[in-house]
Chains A and B, each alone.
Chain A
Amino acid sequence: VRSVLVVGAGALGTLYGEALARGGADVQLLARPAHAEAIVRAGRERLTAVSDPAAVRPADTVIVMCKSHATAAALEPLSPRGVEVAVSFQNGVEKDRLLEEWCGRERVLGGSSMVGATLVRPGVVAHTLEGVTYLGELDGRVSERARSLGTAIEAGGLPVVVTDRVLSVEWSKLVHAAATVAIAALPRLPFHRALQDAELARVYVATLREGAAVAADVGVELGDWPGMFPVATIAAAETEEAVELVRERGRRMEAAGSTDVRVSMLVDMEQGRPLEHEAIHGFLVREAERLGVDAPLTSAGYDLFAAIDAARA
């Protein structure tokens, strides 16, 4: 990994860009103007930024980090020429297909990030949540290129796990996200409170099971991945036991003082930004319909988030 382009470098994309630059790669961020200008002004070593897609220089590695609904438009003006590896850490699993359409399936790696970051002000990112970054080939091979990208990210201080089951990671995160936002974003609650509420914990479990059924039908098995909720265990447990596992996670968050975690969908709602419901619920609902799987709560969540998204001021 010599040169990296981060497309849609907001908080998390910038964090990865900074890590890769620290690790020795030449990194260019494609970002909003104010952020890009602030990065340039700061004169960081091996880290630069532009806001104009026409000013992007060729890179061997592309990381896509914009909001999922902005992906197609962000990639459209960019040439895939010279790109050896492209990976996205966005929500959902459709992101991989969008990348394939842009640069061809053979160049795409699967990926999922458990890291949290927020933009403090243009040019300045806070690393708010330590977490693992998962990387792997979509077909489950173990490859040198996945390992070398992992090494490059780790050289900048972010832990990476290269896995032969990256689709399981992506689906586990997606299914968890659909259940999580239904209980934390719709009621506009801090995450630890939503998890502890008995009825919301039931909604989480029921929604998670709908997603697990869709995943099973496409041939992906959920997993208890480190850094994530043990979604495979929760989906497979007896209902009462599963609900108790969820509520216990909330109690433990509170005991650990994690009482200010707001899921990103809720932050988007509160700031009047476009929501990612298409990449999360929309994708699951369409897959459920295609496969003939019953997913009533996922579908209801989709309708309600679509309503919130449409009616925002």
Chain B
Amino acid sequence: VRIAIAGAGALGSAYGTLLARGGAEVTLIDVWREHVEAIDLHATTDYAAAADADAVIVLTKSFATADVAAALAPRLRRDAIAVTLQNGLGNDATLAAALGAERVVAGATTLGAELLGPGRVRIGPVDASLTTLASGPRVEELAAALCDAGLPVEVRADARAVIWRKLAMTASIGPLCALLRTDVATVLRHDAARRALGRAFDEIVAVAATQGVAVDADLWDHALATWSALGPHRPSIAVDVEAGRRTEIDALCGAVARLGHAPVNRLLASSIRAGEPR
């Protein structure tokens, strides 16, 4: 199976490395030339490389999805699929608008990875990760390739519950740490900060319900346990905000606030977005 990966950041590079090790024919596509040249896989800055792919896994930042979709539209084969494992809401819709919904697969991943420099990535625990794919044409083929790469995979009729679950966990703690210019442990240590975190989280769960997605009742406890284990960790969105880089806030809190009643998410989104470079 031939797989192209759009967006060779930390996660894209991790998936590319693992899939290639598992025997798939992998091409990484990214606009960062220095990184592309340093990767010891087949990598390019040219989206023409997507023309050969059976599946394209999209792992760019969510604000780049529209550009990726436009680049793929004239090149992707009719029978090829585009799979988004990106953060946030709306990536599948953006891809579907350019490629047609029948070629787009929604998904999510819990794999962690960190880019150490051009061509170098540190991959988090693979066995503990889970890649979720919505079922569809050619998805079994991709799932098999992921399995061969040692990545645990689940294929579900509807991936939305998983996507919202992940959203509740990332779109609450990350943006709050970013707004407070602090780390996870500090937020959890102070009642008032924890209360704001709980409100942001509850808003996301409530908006999910208005979208017909039920999030498990024990998710808050699970989230607290997960966050507690992180200690004085600064989520990447908080690091990006402090470094003045553009973030995915619009696909996280911004998307939640556009869908329903979510005033804390709205303030998180408007505050973080307004300070970003355009």
Most buried by A among B187, B266, B274: B274
Task: Give the nearest-CB partner of A202 in chain B.
Answer: B270
Does the CB pair B182–A311 fall under 8 Å? yes
Distance from A220 Cβ to chain B, minimum over Cβ atoms (Å): 24
Q: Is A32 in contact with chain B by the CB < 8 A criterion?
A: no
Does the CB pair B187–A307 fall under 8 Å? yes
B264: chain A residues within 8 A (beta carbon): 300, 303-304
**Complex-state Cα separation, A183 to B273, whole angstroms:** 11
Q: Which of A182, A194, A307 contacts B195 (CB 8 A)?
A: A307
Does the CB pair B176–A197 fall under 8 Å? no
Q: Is A150 in contact with chain B by the CB < 8 A criterion?
A: no
Secondary structure of the B contact surface, majority rule: helix
Q: Is A306 in contact with chain B by the CB < 8 A criterion?
A: yes
Q: Which of A186, A193, A202 contacts B271 (CB 8 A)?
A: A186
B266: chain A residues within 8 A (beta carbon): 203, 297, 300
Does the CB pair B271–A310 fall under 8 Å? no
**Complex-state Cα separation, A183 to B191, whole angstroms:** 24
**Complex-state Cα separation, A296 to B180, whole angstroms:** 20
Does the CB pair B199–A311 fall under 8 Å? no
- Contact string against A for B residues 253-277, beta-carbon threshold 8 Å, 1 for contact and 0 otherwise: 0000000010110111111111100
Q: Is A104 in contact with chain B by the CB < 8 A criterion?
A: no
Q: Which of A194, A299, A304 contacts B179 (CB 8 A)?
A: A304
**Complex-state Cα separation, A194 to B270, whole angstroms:** 10
**Complex-state Cα separation, A296 to B199, whole angstroms:** 12
Q: Is B223 in contact with chain A by the CB < 8 A criterion?
A: no
Distance from B206 Cβ to chain A, minimum over Cβ atoms (Å): 12
**Complex-state Cα separation, A79 to B235, whole angstroms:** 52
Supposing A297-B266, A300-B263, A300-B266 touch, asked if A307 and B274 sit within 8 A by C-beta, the answer is no
- Tell me which residues from 286 to 303 in chain A have a Cβ below 8 Å from any Cβ of chain B: 296-297, 299-301, 303
**Complex-state Cα separation, A46 to B185, whole angstroms:** 52
Task: Give the nearest-CB partner of A194 in chain B.
Answer: B274
**Complex-state Cα separation, A306 to B191, whole angstroms:** 9
A194: chain B residues within 8 A (beta carbon): 274
Does the CB pair A187–B187 fall under 8 Å? no
Distance from A51 Cβ to chain B, minimum over Cβ atoms (Å): 31
- Contact string against A for B residues 186-198, beta-carbon threshold 8 Å, 1 for contact and 0 otherwise: 1101111101110
Interface residues of B toward A: which range? 20 to 34
A199: chain B residues within 8 A (beta carbon): 269-270, 273-274
Does the CB pair B191–A310 fall under 8 Å? yes
- Tell me which residues from 29 to 52 in chain B have a Cβ below 8 Å from any Cβ of chain A: none
Does the CB pair A310–B267 fall under 8 Å? no
A183: chain B residues within 8 A (beta carbon): 270, 274
Task: Give the nearest-CB partner of B198 in chain A.
Answer: A303
Does the CB pair A307–B270 fall under 8 Å? no
- Contact string against B for A residues 64-80, beta-carbon threshold 8 Å, 1 for contact and 0 otherwise: 00000000000000000
Does the CB pair B261–A296 fall under 8 Å? yes
Does the CB pair A310–B192 fall under 8 Å? yes
Task: Give the nearest-CB partner of B273 in chain A.
Answer: A199
- Tell me which residues from 262 to 313 in chain A have a Cβ below 8 Å from any Cβ of chain B: 296-297, 299-301, 303-304, 306-311
Does the CB pair A307–B190 fall under 8 Å? yes
Does the CB pair A187–B271 fall under 8 Å? yes
B263: chain A residues within 8 A (beta carbon): 296-297, 299-300
- Contact string against B for A residues 125-136, beta-carbon threshold 8 Å, 1 for contact and 0 otherwise: 000000000000
**Complex-state Cα separation, A5 to B264, whole angstroms:** 42
A187: chain B residues within 8 A (beta carbon): 270-272, 274-275
**Complex-state Cα separation, A193 to B278, whole angstroms:** 14
Distance from B135 Cβ to chain A, minimum over Cβ atoms (Å): 37
**Complex-state Cα separation, A311 to B194, whole angstroms:** 10
Task: Give the nearest-CB partner of B191 in chain A.
Answer: A310
**Complex-state Cα separation, A302 to B273, whole angstroms:** 20
Does the CB pair A297–B196 fall under 8 Å? no
Most buried by A among B187, B197, B267: B267
A311: chain B residues within 8 A (beta carbon): 180, 182, 186-187, 189-190, 192-193
- Tell me which residues from 148 to 193 in chain A have a Cβ below 8 Å from any Cβ of chain B: 182-183, 186-189, 193
Supposing A296-B261, A310-B191 touch, asked if A304 and B274 sit within 8 A by C-beta, the answer is no
A296: chain B residues within 8 A (beta carbon): 261, 263
- Tell me which residues from 32 to 71 in chain A have a Cβ below 8 Å from any Cβ of chain B: none
Interchain residue pairs with CB less than 8 A apart (27)? A182-B267, A186-B179, A186-B267, A187-B270, A187-B271, A189-B274, A189-B275, A200-B270, A200-B274, A203-B266, A296-B263, A299-B263, A301-B267, A303-B195, A303-B196, A304-B268, A306-B192, A306-B195, A306-B196, A307-B187, A307-B190, A307-B193, A308-B180, A310-B190, A310-B192, A311-B189, A311-B193
Interface positions of B (Cβ within 8 A of A)? 176, 179-180, 182, 186-187, 189-193, 195-197, 199, 261, 263-264, 266-275
Q: Which 7 A-B pairs have the closest CB atoms?
A: A300-B263, A310-B190, A310-B192, A307-B196, A307-B193, A306-B192, A296-B263
Interface positions of A (Cβ within 8 A of B)? 182-183, 186-189, 193-194, 197, 199-200, 202-203, 296-297, 299-301, 303-304, 306-311
